[in-house]
Structure 1
Amino acid sequence: MSADQPRATPPRVAAEDRGSTLIADRVVAKIAAQAAREALTATSGAPPHATVTVHHDIARVRVSLELDYPSDLAAQCAAVRARVAHRVEECAQMSVPEVDIDVEHLHSAHTRTAAGRDRRLR
């Protein structure tokens, strides 16, 4: 083949014959955890943690988080559920039929003040 001849274009392969893309559960979990952080405006606890089980194109998500109290816990959990489902569907192209939320710890102004006082005394 000489330099002045155009290259031959390979034939196009139908989408169903090209293969598939697999996204690891831990990658989807990172997407879900980041989405949960985005949904929570200001919390004083540890960042959210997500675990995911993927079966075909369906992701089952469980998010563990810490919330400030008093606050509207139900509204915060609903915001996390909606944001996580939307981001996983958008980024990983997976259906998310449910997002389970585990509230592992509640932080109140009183417990934050007491914990800070305990740290200074030691």
Structure 2
Amino acid sequence: MAAESAPDPVRGRGATTIADRVVAKIAAQAAGEALDAVPEGGSRPHASVVVHRDVARVSVSLELDYPSDVGHRCGAVRGRVRARVEELVGMEVHEVTVHVERLHSPLTRQATRRERLS
């Protein structure tokens, strides 16, 4: 008499799909965490993501205060984004590209204040 094999519990579980926009929101939040604060008059980081077979490529755009160590801050953002996406979503992150869109200096902050008061 042949013994029946137990059904494979993994096959019946289905699949989980995480939308690219969800991964992008996690990446943007992680970039903000790495920066600690948004520059005065600046906007929060935003991200776009391309996912292929549980591998993500992330592009983050952000604004920084001037002067600052741009290379160090971008490196911190790359590391934090990679770690948080891998931790929260379970995807490998092969690439994190950081685009610095704007540097906020004390002079630009003063000019912005004057424009608001006018």
TM-score, L = length of structure 2:
0.88
**4+ runs deviating over 6 angstroms:** none
Q: How many corresponding residue pairs? A: 111
Q: Could you tell me how far 1:18 is from its partner in structure 2? A: 2.4
What is the rounded CA distance, in whole Å, between the counterparts of 2:71 and 2:51 in structure 1?
A: 26
Alignment of structure 1 residues 100-119 onto 2, 5 Å: 100-119=97-116
Of residues 44, 49, 52, the one that matches 2:46 is 49
Residue in structure 2 matching 1:85, options 82, 86, 93: 82
Distance 2:50 2:104 in 1: 29
Residue 42 of structure 1: how far off its partner (Å): 2.4
Rounded to whole Å, the distance in 2 between the matches of 1:109 and 1:95 is 39
Which of 29-38 and 15-24 deviates more? 15-24
SS of 1:23's equivalent in the other structure is: coil
- Give the CA RMSD over aligned residues: 1.4
Q: Is 1:21 matched up with 2:19?
A: no
Identity of aligned residues (%): 59
1:71 partner SS: coil
Task: Tell me the equivalent position of 1:8.
Answer: none
- The one-letter amino acid of 1:53's match is V
Question: Could you say what secondary structure the match of 1:116 adopts?
Answer: helix
* TM score, norm. by length of structure 1: 0.85
- 1:61-100 to 2 correspondences below 5 Å: 61-100=58-97
- Structure 2 SS opposite 1:42: coil
| Bigger Rg, structure 1 or 2 | 1
